[in-house]
Amino acid sequence: VYLESGRGDQLTLSMRKYIQNLLKVNMEEPYGPEWLSEEKVKRQEMVVPEARYIFVKQYSNGFTAECSMNQDAGVEHTHAPCNEGRLVGFVHYRFVLEEELPVVYVYELQMELSAQGKGLGKFLMRLIEQIACKNQTGAVMLTVQKANTQAMAFYTKLRYVISSTSPSRVDPQIGLEKSYEILRKTFDSEAKSKLEVCSVL
């Protein structure tokens, strides 16, 4: 595989379609009934200028029939040599302020089923953490659906913990009503103090 960077306002039509399709495949079940409204929000989020991407492409000496399977839902079956590689996943992140602290917020980490369990997700998260540190941000943060137990276990293994800004930490009663948790990994003492101490005791 190899990596390629991108920006939300510079995505090609095929990239946008790929992201939409992969999100639907991976996230429709964890979101449940909320997916219809959430999908619209995600479509808007993915194309803004501040959206940053790292795309994972699988390099192949095969044919475009292989390369276009996921991007075109198997519709196109031409047999020209494939030089660009086939997309197998991506991470969407942004530089944002959280509790007045600069952090890197991971909006999406999505891998195709065929690319899962190979260490690519872990590698991308380590890369995001390096990006965060190089840019002197205090933490990496992300949102996970409670129903997505596989993702929760994945981030826990990477030492991400529930942030003080997560609904369940702000107010346990509100937390019960919400379908998600906000996770974080901090890199300095200021971020730890602001994101580890509960906002409401």
**Contacts for 22-26 with beta carbons within 8 Å, 24 or more apart?**
22/70, 22/89, 22/90, 22/110, 22/112, 23/108, 23/110, 25/112, 26/110
What range does the domain containing 131 cover?
Answer: 2-60+84-195
Per the domain annotation, does 168 fall within a domain? yes
Structural domain count, the chain: 1
pLDDT for res 195: 84
Per the domain annotation, does 6 fall within a domain? yes
Per the domain annotation, does 200 fall within a domain? no
Per the domain annotation, does 68 fall within a domain? no
pTM for the model: 0.84
Instruction: Give the domain CATH number at 150.
Output: 3.40.630.30
Q: What is the pLDDT of residues 85-97, one digit of tens each?
A: 899 999 999 999 9
Per the domain annotation, does 67 fall within a domain? no
